[in-house]
Amino acid sequence: MNKDIATPKRTKEILEKHGFKFKKSLGQNFLIDPNILANIVQAAGVTESTGVIEVGPGIGALTEHSARQAKNVLAFEIDQRLLPILKETMGPYPHVKVVNEDVLKADLHAQIQENFEAEQDLAVIANLPYYVTTPILMKLLEEKLPVRVMVVMMQLEVAERIAAKPGSKAYGSLSIAAQYYAEAETVFTVPRTVFMPPPNVDSAILRLTRREKPPVEVVDETFFFELVRASFVQRRKTLLNNLSKFFEEKLSKQEVTERLQEIGIDGKRRAETLTIKEFAALTSAFYRYTGDPR
């Protein structure tokens, strides 16, 4: 087996050899602990028939661990300066393909079709840049890719928000959006000390297991997510106040109260206490009376 990339000594050697300097704007923090990388791949249940999609491979530390287990790996790297490094570090792994593309602009369905077999078991495994974690994650979920699981490293606080349950401070529109598409759980936390350079925050590994179908049926997905976001606009305000503001050109406060009473939801509650089922009920109630309010 080749020497691990993810040790402080080897990482330094590779970076110095190529004269690589970290770009703060790209949120580059490279992992230097092989055990954590092995645990990430293990958490995704990767087998020799699995295809892995990675976002932001850096110098290939996590890519290498995926490549040792998986059938093939497709990695999206936005930073051109890393391409020659990856060409060298991934030399022993011909089943790794690196694409120099921003994953947020990529046609992922086309890439999957081109690089993986039909019906192949697929997993996303990534150490996501903190500054674009949420947009990347939501693109991967919203595009309904044929991916079984996503195991991603991110800022601890964001992972807690995504996996949060109703009634907790971390629970919000991001929790509901993610949990509509997948079951979310934090697998383990990662200290900032195992990165080069160390970030200012601790991280967590989040596992998102794709649902075959959403946990609730909604009349209109776009309206559902809009209503959820509107309910959380001002967290300290009641549901009634937030919804009255959202519908101010369509419904009076009294009418909003009546709609809520009809479905048995107390307008004095705050959005963070509502389950995803209650948000689905809200969507039906308000969509029926107002059509799409946008």
Phi, psi of 206 (to 5 degrees): -110, 135
In 3D, which of 36, 89, 44, 46 has the Cα closest to residue 70?
Answer: 46
Sign of CA dihedral 221, 226, 227, 233: positive
| Angle ∠(51,52,56) on CA atoms, nearest 5 | 155
Helix (H, G, I), strand (E, B) or coil at 127: strand
Instruction: Dump pLDDT digits (tens) for 208-261.
Output: 999 999 999 999 999 999 999 999 999 999 999 999 999 998 899 999 999 999
Helix (H, G, I), strand (E, B) or coil at 163: helix
Q: Is 157 annotated as a binding residue?
A: no
Instruction: Dump pLDDT digits (tens) for 250-262.
Output: 899 999 999 999 9
Q: Is 33 annotated as a binding residue?
A: no
In 3D, which of 177, 172, 110, 111 has the Cα closest to residue 141?
Answer: 177
Residues 121 and 49 sit within 8 Å (Cβ to Cβ): yes
In 3D, which of 187, 51, 208 has the Cα closest to residue 114?
Answer: 51
Give the E-state strand segments of the chain in sequence order: 30-31, 51-55, 72-76, 96-99, 122-127, 149-155, 182-190, 195-196, 203-210
- In this prediction, residue 129 has a pLDDT band, given cuts at 50, 70 and 90, of confident
Please list, residue by residue across 18-42, b when 16 or more beta carbons sit within 10 angstroms of its beta carbon and e when fewer do: eebeeeeebbbbbbbbbebbbbbbe
> Which residue do the tokens 């060298």 mark?
88
Q: Is 102 annotated as a binding residue?
A: yes
In 3D, which of 46, 31, 36 has the Cα closest to residue 149?
Answer: 46
Provide mean pLDDT across the span 255-272. Answer: 96
- pLDDT for 38 equals 96
CATH class of the domain whose range is 221-290: mainly alpha
Range 8-210 has CATH code 3.40.50.150: yes
Q: Is 291 exposed, middle or buried (0-12, 13-18, 19+ CB in 10 A)?
A: exposed
Outline which parts of the chain fall under CATH 3.40.50.150.
8-210
Q: Is 77 annotated as a binding residue?
A: yes
Outline which parts of the chain fall under CATH 1.10.8.100.
221-290
Instruction: Please tell me the distance from the alpha carbon of residue 63 to that of residue 77, in angstroms, as a whole number.
Output: 11
Q: Is 29 annotated as a binding residue?
A: yes
- pLDDT for 293 equals 45
Q: What is the pTM of this model?
A: 0.92
